Amino acid sequence: MTDAPTSISLDAHLAIAGPAAESFARLWRTLWRQDHLPAELLELCRLTMARLHGDAGEQAAANIELGGHAPSPGRRDAVLSGTALDDPAFSPADKAVLLFAEYYWMDPQSITDEAADAVKAHFGEAGLVMLIEALGCIDGRIRAARCLRDLTAAAPAKETAHVG
């Protein structure tokens, strides 16, 4: 495997872990096919997390789970530049979800009741729970991918050291 891991390509890199990795991969695919939150909005959450992690590889990764629900280039760029919350092209529902994602990324303990209530006002309690699940998966996969990237980057140096 030669591509650098991202949240999108992670499953191939973790498959050697066996049934648990397969289960996590199924959960990941389900996120993009549920009825509580639009897949396009979840993708904007993934891009928000990619921006907050400062992860260029993650920002560039094409999400193969989206099918025909990819965000427009304008919405994608606004999220990646951090201007979406002030952009009239984003609805109040979009902004509620993206603001919640920023709180979640910073620290779940920082999430305000107002931010959670705003998500519930648009998507209900189940929508809020679905959002928290999705953010947990997205953030976790970005973190795991970053660890794997660092392990891969360190591997050639180790081999060289052994040869030398």
Partner 1 sequence: MSAKPRATGPGTQTGNVIRDSAMGLIPETVDEIIALNGHVWRDSLVPPSLLEIIRLRNARTVNCVFCKSVRYDVARRDGLSEDRAEMVADGYEDSALAPREKAALALADAYLNFPAGMAPDGAARLSCTFQPAEIASMLVALMTFNFTSRMAVSIGGMPEEPLPITEVSLAISTS
What is the contact surface with partner 1 in residues (CB under 8 A)? 13-24, 26-27, 30-31, 33-36, 53-54, 104, 108-109, 111, 113, 116-117, 120, 125-126, 128-130, 132-133, 135-137, 139-144, 146-151, 153-155, 157-158
Least distance between partner 1 and beta carbon 102 (Å): 13
Q: CA 135 to CA 137: how far, in whole Å?
A: 5
Task: Decide whether 102 or 139 has the Cβ nearer to partner 1.
Answer: 139
Least distance between partner 1 and beta carbon 51 (Å): 12
Task: Decide whether 80 or 132 has the Cβ nearer to partner 1.
Answer: 132
Q: What DSSP line would sit under 62-127, residue for residue?
A: --TT-TT-PPPHHHHHHHHTT-GGG-TTS-HHHHHHHHHHHHHHH-GGG--HHHHHHHHHHHHHHH
Least distance between partner 1 and beta carbon 87 (Å): 25
Tokens for 155, please give them: 């591997």
